[in-house]
Amino acid sequence: MNVLFLCTGNACRSILGEATFNHLAPAGWKAMSAGSQPTGQVHPRSLALLAREGMSTGGYASKSWDKLPATPDIVITVCASAAGETCPAYLGPALRTHWGVEDPAHATGSDEEIDAAFMTAYRILRTRIEAFLALPLDELQQDRARLKAELDRIGSLLP
């Protein structure tokens, strides 16, 4: 099963989602990320956070959703609609859910405050990914409606 973490810039949240999912996922599950308007570079604070959390930082790139290496089965949008961001709508046959997370790239303040914004985004995503991976995935793959309901529910979880 292929999971796509999708946002606008593909520089922070979707990269954190992809890396965290792949770090925790069981065999047979793979995440990728993309943006509807990619910035062209992964935010250095995203890579630094992944390294601090013991995850690989190699191979990540800000890319468009029309350059995906595989067709996604599940699309998770991570834009924060409360912040007025317009989240892209994936037009493929994938099951879609929304897990809004504030974009840490827009954080201001001291280095510590900006790092804290990145950590908050990461913790939210990790909490949701852990809940996703705790589901009876083999069973839910056969019941798309129930899987969709579970993913929608998970999208409101906070650490």
Task: Give tens-digit pLDDT for 8-52.
Answer: 899 999 999 999 999 999 999 999 999 988 999 999 999 999 999
The reported pTM is 0.94
Query: What is the tens place of the pLDDT at every residue in 54-108?
Result: 999 999 999 998 888 999 999 999 987 655 556 777 767 889 999 999 999 999 9
- How far, in Å, CA of 149 to CA of 114, rounded? 33
pLDDT over threshold 90, residue 136: yes
Which amino acids are annotated catalytic?
7, 79, 87
Of 76, 43, 42, which is closest to residue 59 (Cα–Cα)?
Answer: 42
Q: What pLDDT score was predicted for residue 89?
A: 73
